[in-house]
């Protein structure tokens, strides 16, 4: 069997389709999927032969921060009914991320982050703390991905294996061709192949080791070691003049050592645009009030209405209870306690008032949530929704024909 889930599954609460390749000369009598949640009591279901030797079954969606152990058990069709099993496990984890962009220039550079027209490259680029903060970065946040913006010209042939280092630095620019940020001040965060998209766009590099930004300026260094060269790729960049915030070394014969780099081939004002993917804080108990969905349109004082809202559990914990409070034209009404189970990232429409009548005139419904799972809501900024409506005195019966001069009714 080749399992598709092992170790940690990020940002996927399920359901999980488990596939197994099962073969035996005598045939397969049964295949069964057995699983347990957080070392609890096992559950199981028969697997379906979907094609050839492939058998599939589904483990239902689970809350985040859950360990799932599963076993595929197969019995062959021989008289001996031989049994074979394979066991695996995975852990569901939720990581919320935010992309911030530094640099919006539409000019291009071939020097940074790599200059693929030469066999060997080493570059550094500095992004200031004020730029990162203005774009939405938070000191103490972890960077999981970096992206450089390729303009669609050139390629990375013989230049697609990068080692990337990142560091927090007080340096704001490169004052000379020897003013490199020392390797000892940086951390290796990635080494591996970098692939260009089919057309112009952001080149995503998922860091092997996430990097914690401490609020200082940020340096990103790229070491490219593949011998020979290709057609140099061009990268969108932004001018940082009068500060040199990009520096580069390139050579066909000398492979530079980042621990003791030679004098740079040059410095540049043209610093490549970058996107940084930060993990953003999540909360254990957080229900979002998306919108009041009913009533809507024009209301009539002779009718009765239900009041409904759309809610999303954006907390890490499964939501098993929360309170909905609401006001109609400033008058607080009887609260409603929801006891439905709502998994993380699940959206649910809930009726929190029934058979409501409204007086004629302008109507404002203001509603908010409290006490998710009996706890204080850790993110109250997303708790409230409101809607403004108009209520007429009564509806009209019959068929009406109206022209510009003579209204009639029948």
Per-residue pLDDT of 34-77, as tens digits, reads 999 999 999 999 999 999 999 999 999 887 778 999 999 999 99
> Per the domain annotation, does 401 fall within a domain?
no
Question: In angstroms, rounded to a whole number, what is the distance separating the alpha carbons of residues 184 and 196?
Answer: 30
19 with 101, same domain: the answer is: no
**Boundary-marking domain end, from 279, 303, 330:** 279
130 with 272, same domain: the answer is: yes
Per-residue pLDDT at 410: 45
Per-residue pLDDT at 17: 93
Q: State the residue range of the domain holding 104.
A: 97-279
Residue 348 is part of a domain; what is its CATH number? 2.60.40.10
Question: In angstroms, rounded to a whole number, what is the distance separating the alpha carbons of residues 254 and 39?
Answer: 56
Distances (CA, A) of 307 to 98, 331, 372, 388, 390: 34, 15, 20, 13, 15
Closest listed residue to residue 104, CA positions, set 278, 279, 275, 277: 275
Beta strands in 252-328 (DSSP E): 266-268, 270-272, 274-279, 287-294, 298-300, 305-313, 322-328
Closest listed residue to residue 357, CA positions, set 296, 301, 395: 301
Question: In angstroms, rounded to a whole number, what is the distance separating the alpha carbons of residues 111 and 68?
Answer: 47
Per-residue pLDDT at 13: 78
Would you say the C-alpha torsion 137, 140, 144, 150 has a positive or negative sign?
positive
**Boundary-marking domain end, from 29, 61, 93:** 93
How many domains, the chain?
Answer: 3
> Per the domain annotation, does 2 fall within a domain?
no
Residues of the chain with pLDDT under 70: 1-11, 281, 395-410
Q: Tokens 């170790």, residue?
A: 7
């Amino acid at each position: 069997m080749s399992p598709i889930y092992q170790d940690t599954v990020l940002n996927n609460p399920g359901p999980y389709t488990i596939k197994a390749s099962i073969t035996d000369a005598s045939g397969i009598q049964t295949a069964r999927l057995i699983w347990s949640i957080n070392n609890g009591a096992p559950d199981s279901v028969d697997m379906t032969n979907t094609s050839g030797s492939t058998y599939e079954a589904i483990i239902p969606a689970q809350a985040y921060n859950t360990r799932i152990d599963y076993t595929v058990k197969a019995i062959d069709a021989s008289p001996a009914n031989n049994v074979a099993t394979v066991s695996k496990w995975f852990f569901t984890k939720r990581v919320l991320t935010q992309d911030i962009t530094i640099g919006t220039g539409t000019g291009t550079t071939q020097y940074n982050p790599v200059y693929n027209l030469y066999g060997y490259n080493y570059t550094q680029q500095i992004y200031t703390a004020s730029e990162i903060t203005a774009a939405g970065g938070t000191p103490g946040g972890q960077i999981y991905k970096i992206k450089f913006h390729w303009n669609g010209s050139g390629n990375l042939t013989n230049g697609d294996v990068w080692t990337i280092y990142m560091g927090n630095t007080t340096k704001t620019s490169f004052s000379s061709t020897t003013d490199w940020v020392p390797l000892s001040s940086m951390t290796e965060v990635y080494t591996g192949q970098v692939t260009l998209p089919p057309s112009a766009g952001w080149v995503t590099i998922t860091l092997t080791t996430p990097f914690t930004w401490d609020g200082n300026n940020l340096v990103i260094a790229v070491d490219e070691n593949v011998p020979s060269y290709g057609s140099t790729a061009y990268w969108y960049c932004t001018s940082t003049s009068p500060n040199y915030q990009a520096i580069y070394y390139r050579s066909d014969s000398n492979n530079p050592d980042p621990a003791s780099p030679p004098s740079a081939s040059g410095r540049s004002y043209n610093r490549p645009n970058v996107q940084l993917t930060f993990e953003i804080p999540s909360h254990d108990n957080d229900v979002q009030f998306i919108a009041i969905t009913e009533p809507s349109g024009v209301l009539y004082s002779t009718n009765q209405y239900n009041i409904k809202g759309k809610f999303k559990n954006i907390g890490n914990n499964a939501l098993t209870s929360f309170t909905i409070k609401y006001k109609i034209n400033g008058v607080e009404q009887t609260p409603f306690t929801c006891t439905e189970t709502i998994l993380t990232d699940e959206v649910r429409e809930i009726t929190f008032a029934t058979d409501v009548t409204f007086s004629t005139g302008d109507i404002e419904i203001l509603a908010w949530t409290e006490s998710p799972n009996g706890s204080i809501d850790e993110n109250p900024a997303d708790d409230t929704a409101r809607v403004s409506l108009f209520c007429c005195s009564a509806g009209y019966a019959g068929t009406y024909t109206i022209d510009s001069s003579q209204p009639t009714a029948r």
